[in-house]
Structure 1
Amino acid sequence: MIKSSLSTSLHIMTVLAMFSEEWISSRILAESININPVLVREELRVLKNAGLIQSKEGKNGGVKLIKSADQILLSDIFKAIKKEDHIFTLRTNSPDKTCKVGKKINTNLKSLYQEIDEAIYAKLNEVSLESFKNRF
Protein backbone atom coordinates (compact mmCIF):
# COMPACT_ATOMS: atom_id res chain seq x y z
CA MET A 1 0.00 0.00 0.00
CA ILE A 2 2.20 2.77 -1.26
CA LYS A 3 -0.52 5.38 -0.72
CA SER A 4 -0.87 4.85 3.03
CA SER A 5 2.84 4.13 3.53
CA LEU A 6 3.81 7.41 1.90
CA SER A 7 1.31 9.34 4.03
CA THR A 8 2.52 7.65 7.19
CA SER A 9 6.20 8.06 6.33
CA LEU A 10 5.79 11.73 5.40
CA HIS A 11 3.96 12.32 8.68
CA ILE A 12 6.73 10.58 10.64
CA MET A 13 9.51 12.40 8.84
CA THR A 14 7.79 15.78 9.25
CA VAL A 15 7.44 15.28 13.01
CA LEU A 16 11.10 14.25 13.20
CA ALA A 17 12.08 17.34 11.21
CA MET A 18 10.04 19.58 13.55
CA PHE A 19 11.76 18.15 16.62
CA SER A 20 15.12 17.34 15.06
CA GLU A 21 17.12 17.54 18.30
CA GLU A 22 14.86 15.11 20.19
CA TRP A 23 14.52 11.35 20.21
CA ILE A 24 10.87 10.68 19.34
CA SER A 25 9.20 7.42 20.43
CA SER A 26 6.99 5.31 18.18
CA ARG A 27 4.20 5.85 20.73
CA ILE A 28 4.34 9.63 20.25
CA LEU A 29 4.43 9.21 16.48
CA ALA A 30 1.49 6.79 16.62
CA GLU A 31 -0.52 9.29 18.67
CA SER A 32 0.23 12.06 16.18
CA ILE A 33 -0.84 9.91 13.25
CA ASN A 34 -3.63 8.22 15.24
CA ILE A 35 -2.62 4.69 14.24
CA ASN A 36 -1.32 1.61 16.03
CA PRO A 37 2.34 1.87 17.14
CA VAL A 38 3.04 -1.45 15.40
CA LEU A 39 2.25 0.19 12.04
CA VAL A 40 4.54 3.09 12.91
CA ARG A 41 7.36 0.69 13.81
CA GLU A 42 6.96 -1.05 10.43
CA GLU A 43 7.41 2.29 8.63
CA LEU A 44 10.32 3.21 10.92
CA ARG A 45 12.07 -0.01 9.95
CA VAL A 46 11.76 0.89 6.26
CA LEU A 47 13.00 4.45 6.85
CA LYS A 48 15.93 3.20 8.93
CA ASN A 49 16.90 0.62 6.30
CA ALA A 50 16.88 3.43 3.73
CA GLY A 51 19.35 5.41 5.86
CA LEU A 52 16.94 8.26 6.59
CA ILE A 53 16.59 7.84 10.36
CA GLN A 54 18.52 6.47 13.29
CA SER A 55 17.20 4.81 16.43
CA LYS A 56 18.19 4.50 20.04
CA GLU A 57 16.94 1.85 22.47
CA GLY A 58 15.93 2.40 26.06
CA LYS A 59 13.90 4.69 28.28
CA ASN A 60 15.12 7.85 26.57
CA GLY A 61 15.28 6.21 23.17
CA GLY A 62 13.37 6.77 19.99
CA VAL A 63 14.16 7.87 16.46
CA LYS A 64 15.52 10.99 14.81
CA LEU A 65 16.64 12.09 11.37
CA ILE A 66 20.09 10.89 10.34
CA LYS A 67 20.78 14.16 8.46
CA SER A 68 19.20 17.58 8.35
CA ALA A 69 15.77 18.00 6.79
CA ASP A 70 17.15 20.27 4.07
CA GLN A 71 19.31 17.35 2.86
CA ILE A 72 16.34 14.97 2.54
CA LEU A 73 14.06 15.14 -0.48
CA LEU A 74 10.52 13.82 -0.44
CA SER A 75 11.63 11.61 -3.34
CA ASP A 76 14.08 9.91 -0.91
CA ILE A 77 11.13 8.96 1.28
CA PHE A 78 9.07 7.85 -1.71
CA LYS A 79 11.95 5.71 -2.99
CA ALA A 80 12.35 4.10 0.45
CA ILE A 81 8.74 3.00 0.74
CA LYS A 82 8.10 2.24 -2.94
CA LYS A 83 10.71 -0.48 -3.38
CA GLU A 84 10.23 -2.09 -6.81
CA ASP A 85 6.46 -1.74 -6.93
CA HIS A 86 4.52 0.65 -9.12
CA ILE A 87 1.91 2.99 -7.71
CA PHE A 88 -0.68 0.92 -9.58
CA THR A 89 -0.59 -2.85 -9.98
CA LEU A 90 -1.67 -5.23 -12.69
CA ARG A 91 -4.48 -7.68 -12.15
CA THR A 92 -3.26 -11.10 -11.06
CA ASN A 93 -5.17 -12.98 -13.74
CA SER A 94 -3.71 -13.50 -17.21
CA PRO A 95 -5.60 -11.74 -20.00
CA ASP A 96 -6.74 -13.65 -23.07
CA LYS A 97 -3.71 -13.81 -25.39
CA THR A 98 -5.97 -14.21 -28.44
CA CYS A 99 -7.70 -10.88 -27.73
CA LYS A 100 -6.33 -7.82 -29.51
CA VAL A 101 -6.32 -5.87 -26.22
CA GLY A 102 -5.58 -8.80 -23.90
CA LYS A 103 -2.34 -9.79 -25.60
CA LYS A 104 -0.78 -6.32 -25.14
CA ILE A 105 -2.58 -4.79 -22.16
CA ASN A 106 -0.01 -5.69 -19.48
CA THR A 107 2.93 -4.46 -21.54
CA ASN A 108 1.20 -1.15 -22.22
CA LEU A 109 0.04 -0.77 -18.61
CA LYS A 110 3.55 -1.45 -17.28
CA SER A 111 4.91 1.28 -19.54
CA LEU A 112 2.20 3.72 -18.46
CA TYR A 113 2.72 2.88 -14.77
CA GLN A 114 6.46 3.48 -15.13
CA GLU A 115 5.78 6.93 -16.62
CA ILE A 116 3.42 7.74 -13.73
CA ASP A 117 6.01 6.63 -11.15
CA GLU A 118 8.68 8.77 -12.82
CA ALA A 119 6.39 11.82 -12.85
CA ILE A 120 5.63 11.40 -9.14
CA TYR A 121 9.32 10.91 -8.36
CA ALA A 122 10.25 14.04 -10.35
CA LYS A 123 7.70 16.16 -8.46
CA LEU A 124 8.80 14.84 -5.05
CA ASN A 125 12.42 15.43 -6.07
CA GLU A 126 11.64 19.18 -6.12
CA VAL A 127 10.61 19.33 -2.44
CA SER A 128 12.90 19.02 0.55
CA LEU A 129 11.65 17.72 3.87
CA GLU A 130 12.64 21.12 5.30
CA SER A 131 10.41 23.04 2.89
CA PHE A 132 7.56 20.58 3.47
CA LYS A 133 7.95 20.94 7.25
CA ASN A 134 7.79 24.71 6.93
CA ARG A 135 4.23 24.47 5.62
CA PHE A 136 3.05 23.66 9.16
Structure 2
Amino acid sequence: MVKSKFAISVHILSLLSTGGEEWLSSDYIAGSMNANPALVRKELSALRAAGLVESKEGKSGGSRLRKPASQIRMSDVFQAVKEDHVFGFSPNLPNPDCAVGAGINDALDELFTEIDHTIYNRLKRMTLAAFTKQVINAQA
Protein backbone atom coordinates (compact mmCIF):
# COMPACT_ATOMS: atom_id res chain seq x y z
CA MET A 1 0.00 0.00 0.00
CA VAL A 2 1.49 3.30 -1.08
CA LYS A 3 0.43 5.13 2.08
CA SER A 4 2.52 3.00 4.44
CA LYS A 5 5.42 2.62 1.98
CA PHE A 6 5.58 6.38 1.62
CA ALA A 7 5.63 6.90 5.40
CA ILE A 8 8.29 4.23 5.87
CA SER A 9 10.45 5.62 3.07
CA VAL A 10 10.16 9.20 4.32
CA HIS A 11 11.19 8.04 7.80
CA ILE A 12 14.22 6.22 6.38
CA LEU A 13 15.25 9.13 4.18
CA SER A 14 14.75 11.69 6.94
CA LEU A 15 16.96 9.67 9.25
CA LEU A 16 19.59 9.25 6.53
CA SER A 17 19.51 12.99 5.90
CA THR A 18 20.55 13.59 9.51
CA GLY A 19 23.47 11.19 9.13
CA GLY A 20 25.37 13.19 6.53
CA GLU A 21 28.10 11.06 4.95
CA GLU A 22 27.80 8.40 7.66
CA TRP A 23 26.65 4.91 6.64
CA LEU A 24 23.62 3.98 8.76
CA SER A 25 22.87 0.30 9.28
CA SER A 26 19.44 -1.20 8.69
CA ASP A 27 19.45 -2.19 12.38
CA TYR A 28 19.97 1.44 13.39
CA ILE A 29 17.24 2.64 11.02
CA ALA A 30 14.88 -0.11 12.22
CA GLY A 31 15.50 1.03 15.81
CA SER A 32 14.28 4.51 14.95
CA MET A 33 11.17 3.07 13.35
CA ASN A 34 10.49 0.30 15.89
CA ALA A 35 10.43 -2.03 12.89
CA ASN A 36 12.11 -5.17 11.65
CA PRO A 37 15.44 -4.59 9.85
CA ALA A 38 14.18 -6.84 7.01
CA LEU A 39 11.39 -4.32 6.31
CA VAL A 40 13.96 -1.53 6.27
CA ARG A 41 16.19 -3.44 3.84
CA LYS A 42 13.21 -4.05 1.54
CA GLU A 43 12.36 -0.36 1.40
CA LEU A 44 16.03 0.61 1.06
CA SER A 45 16.16 -1.62 -2.01
CA ALA A 46 13.35 0.37 -3.65
CA LEU A 47 14.99 3.66 -2.68
CA ARG A 48 18.29 2.47 -4.16
CA ALA A 49 16.53 1.51 -7.39
CA ALA A 50 15.07 5.03 -7.51
CA GLY A 51 18.56 6.53 -7.09
CA LEU A 52 17.79 8.15 -3.75
CA VAL A 53 20.16 6.13 -1.56
CA GLU A 54 23.38 4.19 -1.88
CA SER A 55 24.44 1.24 0.22
CA LYS A 56 27.55 -0.73 0.96
CA GLU A 57 27.90 -4.11 2.58
CA GLY A 58 30.23 -5.23 5.32
CA LYS A 59 31.07 -4.41 8.90
CA SER A 60 31.28 -0.67 8.25
CA GLY A 61 28.46 -0.77 5.70
CA GLY A 62 25.04 0.73 5.68
CA SER A 63 23.09 3.23 3.64
CA ARG A 64 23.20 6.98 3.07
CA LEU A 65 21.60 9.51 0.77
CA ARG A 66 22.93 9.46 -2.77
CA LYS A 67 22.54 13.23 -3.09
CA PRO A 68 21.90 16.08 -0.64
CA ALA A 69 18.48 16.16 1.01
CA SER A 70 18.00 19.64 -0.46
CA GLN A 71 18.04 18.03 -3.93
CA ILE A 72 15.47 15.34 -3.11
CA ARG A 73 11.87 16.34 -3.54
CA MET A 74 9.13 14.60 -1.61
CA SER A 75 7.60 13.88 -5.03
CA ASP A 76 10.72 11.79 -5.80
CA VAL A 77 9.88 9.62 -2.80
CA PHE A 78 6.25 9.37 -3.91
CA GLN A 79 7.34 8.22 -7.37
CA ALA A 80 9.74 5.69 -5.85
CA VAL A 81 7.06 3.93 -3.81
CA LYS A 82 3.95 4.45 -5.93
CA GLU A 83 2.93 1.24 -7.66
CA ASP A 84 -0.51 2.25 -8.88
CA HIS A 85 -3.07 4.85 -7.85
CA VAL A 86 -3.09 6.09 -4.27
CA PHE A 87 -6.60 4.72 -4.02
CA GLY A 88 -7.18 1.20 -5.22
CA PHE A 89 -9.99 -0.40 -7.12
CA SER A 90 -12.42 -2.91 -5.65
CA PRO A 91 -11.06 -6.46 -5.82
CA ASN A 92 -14.35 -7.53 -7.40
CA LEU A 93 -14.84 -6.93 -11.11
CA PRO A 94 -17.98 -4.85 -11.67
CA ASN A 95 -20.88 -6.28 -13.61
CA PRO A 96 -20.51 -5.06 -17.22
CA ASP A 97 -24.27 -5.44 -17.73
CA CYS A 98 -24.98 -2.86 -15.03
CA ALA A 99 -25.23 0.81 -16.00
CA VAL A 100 -22.89 1.79 -13.15
CA GLY A 101 -20.70 -1.32 -13.22
CA ALA A 102 -19.96 -0.93 -16.92
CA GLY A 103 -18.25 2.44 -16.50
CA ILE A 104 -17.21 2.72 -12.87
CA ASN A 105 -13.58 1.65 -13.24
CA ASP A 106 -12.92 4.00 -16.17
CA ALA A 107 -14.43 6.90 -14.26
CA LEU A 108 -12.49 6.01 -11.10
CA ASP A 109 -9.28 5.68 -13.10
CA GLU A 110 -9.72 9.23 -14.38
CA LEU A 111 -10.47 10.54 -10.88
CA PHE A 112 -7.57 8.61 -9.32
CA THR A 113 -5.16 9.92 -11.95
CA GLU A 114 -6.20 13.48 -11.13
CA ILE A 115 -5.74 12.81 -7.39
CA ASP A 116 -2.30 11.29 -7.99
CA HIS A 117 -1.24 14.36 -10.00
CA THR A 118 -2.51 16.68 -7.26
CA ILE A 119 -0.53 14.79 -4.61
CA TYR A 120 2.60 14.70 -6.78
CA ASN A 121 2.42 18.45 -7.49
CA ARG A 122 2.00 19.24 -3.78
CA LEU A 123 4.92 17.00 -2.81
CA LYS A 124 7.08 18.52 -5.56
CA ARG A 125 7.06 21.80 -3.65
CA MET A 126 8.85 20.34 -0.61
CA THR A 127 12.37 18.98 -0.29
CA LEU A 128 13.44 16.20 2.02
CA ALA A 129 15.68 18.73 3.79
CA ALA A 130 12.74 21.04 4.52
CA PHE A 131 10.59 18.14 5.71
CA THR A 132 13.33 16.76 7.99
CA LYS A 133 13.93 20.23 9.45
CA GLN A 134 10.19 20.45 10.18
CA VAL A 135 10.30 17.07 11.96
CA ILE A 136 13.31 17.98 14.07
CA ASN A 137 11.98 21.45 14.92
CA ALA A 138 8.71 19.92 16.11
CA GLN A 139 10.70 18.11 18.81
CA ALA A 140 12.57 21.21 19.98
Alignment TM-score, normalising by the size of structure 2? 0.94
Moved over 6 A (4+): none
Give CA deviations for 1:100-129 in whole Å, capped at 9, x if unaligned: 111110000011111111111011100001
1:92 is matched with 91
CA-CA distance at 1:93 after TM superposition: 1.9
CA-CA distance at 1:62 after TM superposition: 0.2
| Corresponding pairs, count | 135
CA-CA distance at 1:92 after TM superposition: 2.5
What one-letter code is carried by the residue in structure 1 that aligns with 2:9?
A: S
Give CA deviations for 1:53-98 in whole Å, capped at 9, x if unaligned: 0001111110000100100000001100113x11111112221112
The answer for unaligned runs of 5 or more in structure 2 is none
The answer for unaligned runs of 5 or more in structure 1 is none
SS in 2 for 1:64: strand
Distance across 2 between alignment mates of 1:18 and 1:91: 40
Give me the CA root mean square deviation: 0.8
What is the aligned-residue identity percentage? 47
Residue correspondence of structure 1 range 53-72 to structure 2 within 5 A: 53-72=53-72
1:111 is matched with 110
SS in 2 for 1:113: helix
What one-letter code is carried by the residue in structure 2 that aligns with 1:121?
A: Y
1:123 is matched with 122
2:21 is matched with 21
Alignment TM-score, normalising by the size of structure 1? 0.96
